[in-house]
Amino acid sequence: MAGAGVADTAHRNGHVGSDEAHADSGGADRGPSLLGRAARGVARQVTSRIPRADLDERDPDFIRERLPLMWLASSLWYRAEVRGLGNIPDDGPVLMVGNHSGGNMTPDTVVFTLAFNTYFGVERPFYQLAHNLVLSMPGLGSLRRFGTVAASPANARKALQAGAALLVYPGGDYEVHRPFWQRNRVDFDGRKGFIRLALQENVPIVPVVSIGGHETALFLTRGEGLARLLMLDRLFRLKVLPISLSLPWGLNVGDMLGHLPLPAKITVETLPPIDLKAEFGPDPDVEEIYDHLIRLMQDTLDALAEERRLPVIG
Amino acid sequence: MRATAATTVSAPIETVWAVVADPERALSFMSGVTRWEIEGEERVGLGARYRMLLRVGSAEIGGLIEIVEWDPPKELAWTSITGVDQRGRWRLRSVAPGRTTAEIRLAASVPGSGIAGWVAERIAQPIVGSHLRHTVQQLTRLVEHERMREQAAARRSARGAAAGTELAG
């Protein structure tokens, strides 16, 4: 569940036009090659499959019925530990900001979604922003019933204005596919849209820091060059084509079919809410908040890394 | 999933009841409970509501509960309003003067969760069972310790009073 570069690249959900225009200009020198046409066809397919954000698609009964399965995965497979959920305000809109790990299987999302839903009850509206590709993937349609909506500033604003709790991973696909040796690094790639969103909507930010998710496979490289070469950035808003060693594939390029995550121990720590206007003044500086947040989350991640003795085992 | 645990406490039934029925003391002796807050106007009694959570495996499970049976000092039962389906009960009985049996029962399930729900309940059962066992152990310790202190305080004041009368005499 990647992706939440909330503000800057504003076009998505149904905004087919601009994406296609880019693709056309990029492929112009190559002429209407068969490959180019096929790629554009796939891109159109994907874009048409991206669901329009409809907050009503979230289904509390559906979520409740899936809690036991998630509990089994979280408790037995990942031996998860979630701390400090009491830091999240009991009601009202809140923007939860997490670091993102584990490739396309994103185990920390499973762990946190379960923990949030049992702690506050499925009755509390809770949405997660995800990359377009995640939501248009065949077979992942049920994610929308969990409250997953396509990452866009408009969708995020809609959820917060409805008074919901919203989980974003600003690092998105960039962070989730970072190499293994950067596993204990918070890397949002400078994306700050979520801060502007929190300021505009006047909601507190709750940092959610997790460790262990990036030990579920051996992530080698993001493959940014490869993604550019194949024009994936223009066609699918995908800046990476990650390469990893993972089960059951061995060498795994793209991670499009997912993989079997190793049973790494996952620890999630929820930090106290940050009231941006109270802490950074009436006219806060976005850069300053960003730096503060990254430092805070990195310090927490370092502390969690200190607790760990061995990768995977925990 | 259904779990239960029982114990015998060396204290009168009213003393045990005063502890199990008091929402503010739940956190101090109920094992695995991470939250037990009064919700609404009523503090105790029929219709009182609490927001509670119990740590089971990787999650804190619970929600809003309401007292649906209130028969002091013997019977106290609740059901869930939100969260997973839940029923709980404290059952106290006086077996001899100054001896009380206390039993706690907890049943929880997620209807419609299929095979995963069945498996999860089997795995959660011993975890909840051990929480309940620890709960009754801690209840015994708490009540008996408090009773000992009370009796000691009573003896002290009796001695003080006796000394006082001697001096006066």
Q: Helices A34-49 and A16-27 meet at what angle, rounded to 10?
A: 170
Distance from CA of A62 to the nearest CA of B (A): 9
Longest CA–CA span in chain B (Å) reads: 80
If you measure CA to CA, which chain A residue comes closest to B52?
A119
Rounded to whole angstroms, the Cα distance separating B65 from B47 reads 9
Distance from CA of A105 to the nearest CA of B (A): 19
Distance from CA of A30 to the nearest CA of B (A): 52
If you measure CA to CA, which chain B residue comes closest to A114?
B59
Q: Which DSSP category does A247 fall into?
A: B
CB burial string B80-110: b at 16+ within 10 A, e below: bbbbbebbbbbbbbeeeeeebbbebbbbbbb
Neighbours of A267 (CB within 10 A): 22
User: Are the C-beta atoms of B11 and B150 separated by less than 8 Å?
Assistant: no
All residues of chain B having their beta carbon less than 8 Å from the beta carbon of residue A66 are 113, 116
Interface test with A, best of B58, B81, B127 (most A CBs within 10 A): B58
Encode pLDDT of B39-92 as tens digits: 999 999 999 999 999 999 999 999 999 999 999 999 999 999 999 999 999 999
**Which residues, at least 6 apart from A286, have a Cβ–Cβ distance to it below 8 Å?**
A192, A195, A196, A199
Contact status of A118 with chain B (Cβ, < 8 Å):
yes
Please indicate whether, in this complex, the C-beta atoms of A121 and B61 are within 8 angstroms of each other.
no
Return mean pLDDT, chain A: 83
If you measure CA to CA, which chain A residue comes closest to B53?
A119
Tokens encoding B166: 């001697």
Distance from CA of A16 to the nearest CA of B (A): 39
Q: Which DSSP category does A256 fall into?
A: T
Mean local confidence (pLDDT), A15-23: 37
Q: How far is CA B40 from CA A118, B37, B50, B65, B66, in A?
A: 21, 10, 8, 11, 11
pTM for this structure? 0.84
Grade residue A253 by pLDDT with cuts at 50, 70 and 90.
confident
User: Are the C-beta atoms of B168 and B37 separated by less than 8 Å?
Assistant: no
Encode pLDDT of A107-131 as tens digits: 889 999 999 999 999 999 999 998 8
- The per-residue pLDDT for A21 is 37
If you measure CA to CA, which chain A residue comes closest to B64?
A121
Which DSSP string do the residues of A43-110 spell out, in sequence order?
A: HHHHHHHSPPP-GGG--HHHHHHHHHHHHHIIIIIS--EEE-GGGS-SSS-EEEEE---SGGG-HHHH
Local structure of B14: helix, strand or coil? helix
- The per-residue pLDDT for A25 is 39
Which percentage of chain A shows pLDDT scores above 70? 84
Return mean pLDDT, chain B: 93
User: Are the C-beta atoms of A110 and A128 separated by less than 8 Å?
Assistant: no
- Unique residue bearing structure tokens 């995908």: A238
Encode pLDDT of A185-214 as tens digits: 999 999 999 999 999 999 999 999 999 988
